[in-house]
Structure 1
Amino acid sequence: MTGEVPENKPMERAIRQKLVETLNPVHLDIINESYMHNVPPGSETHFKVVVVSDKFDNLPLIKRHRLVNDALRSELQNGVHALSVVAKTPTQWKEGTQVSPSPACRGGFGK
């Protein structure tokens, strides 16, 4: 599962590559939510990732998030301002694939 990411989205490309390599997900969505915040058009600063992986089996939610954050440590230190994580096991994903929308930005001029 690699997914095609346009050349003009280097941060999204890096996030995808690292999560695929680290977690071998059966499902992965990377949603750039930067447009919802007070950042220039085309920014890659705010993301939501939906990761479904066998590596999350028998792990509490906090440890799942730590796995994702550890994999993306460099990106979180070098440009990603906010990361929302939905981390599910394949069994949980089969029970429901609905992901709640992110709330509107409260600290900027997001649309």
Structure 2
Amino acid sequence: MSQEQQIIEKLQHLSPAHLEVINESSGHGGYYPGKESHFKVIVVAEIFHGLRLVQRHQKIYAEVNSLLAAGGGAIHALAIHAYAPSEWQGEAPNSPECAHAPKS
């Protein structure tokens, strides 16, 4: 199972109303086809209602920790955008350009 699919599976535990997992590995240094090291997740879930940003991130990290490099996995970076349903406007911010991105 791909890293992306594993993230999706684990984040389903939060009962999201909306979930996007975007593999952004190609925009980072050392990329090769099939690499799965940098992801952005957009999670909209009722569980985030009333929680501060750091608490929302902690809930996501608790679900995916085993996939992150620090937890023994292969994912190097995870950009998190976590919203309660009442806050969700339909889009999350773009990720910044990586200083070590492959040059075209």
Partner residue, 1:73: 65
Aligned to 1:37: 28
Secondary structure of the 2:56 match is: helix
Residue from 15, 38, 42 that aligns with 1:50: 42
The 8 Å contact of residues 37 and 108 in structure 1, kept in 2 or not, is answered as: yes
Q: Distance in 1 between matches of 2:4 and 2:91?
A: 22
SS at match of 1:72: helix
Q: Which structure has the higher relative contact order (CA within 8 Å, separation 6+)?
A: 2
**Counterpart-to-counterpart distance in 2, 1:57 and 1:101:** 23
**TM superposition shift of 1:100:** 1.3
Partner amino acid for 1:52?
Answer: V
RMSD: 1.4
Q: Which runs of 5+ in 1 are unaligned?
A: 1-6
Q: Per the alignment, in what secondary structure is the counterpart of residue 35 of structure 2?
A: coil
Change (3 A) 1:92 1:110: farther
Query: Structure 1: which 4+ aligned runs deviate by more than 6 Å?
Result: none
Q: Which residue does 2:83 correspond to in 1?
A: 88
Identical-pair percentage: 38
Maintained 8 Å contact 1:37/1:110: no
Q: Identify unmatched segments of 5+ residues in structure 2.
A: none
Deviations, residues 36-83 of structure 1 (Å, cap 9, x unaligned): 012211111000000000000110010000100111000013100000
Alignment: residue pair count? 100
With structure 1 as the length reference, what TM-score do the two structures score? 0.84
